[in-house]
């Protein structure tokens, strides 16, 4: 008889897989684990993974920084302005020396 996985058991298993694997290896391990589950358990697993993904996105500092900076065009202009400012500062320092 196949094991019945509760929601809590599935969460624990995801935690174990997360500790053991990263990136593509994690995705592969989850896919292999999911193949062992019945459709209802697979749906629970999907919900758990989606909730984790949302939590990770909410705590992602790189994503927060990108959102704060705005779109690609604004970030690019900001980089150009920073570059121009640094060049102007170097020119001023050389001129004073």
* Closest residue by Cα to residue 13 from 55, 53, 54, 42: 42
List of the chain residues with pLDDT < 70: 1, 57-60, 62-64, 66-67, 69-70, 72-77
The encoded tokens of residue 62 equal: 């790189």
Q: Residue 28 has what pLDDT?
A: 92
Whether 20 contacts 8, CB under 8 Å: no
pTM of the predicted model over 0.75? no
């Amino acid at each position: 008889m196949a094991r019945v996985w509760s929601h809590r058991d599935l969460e624990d298993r995801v935690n174990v897989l997360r500790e053991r694997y990263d990136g593509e290896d994690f995705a592969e391990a989850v896919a292999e684990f999911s193949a062992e589950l019945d459709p209802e358990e697979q749906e629970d697993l999907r919900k758990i993974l989606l909730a984790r993904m949302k939590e990770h996105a909410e705590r992602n500092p790189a994503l927060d920084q990108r959102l704060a900076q705005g779109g690609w065009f604004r970030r690019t202009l900001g980089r150009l302005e920073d570059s121009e400012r640094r060049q102007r500062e170097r020119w001023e320092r050389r001129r004073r020396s």
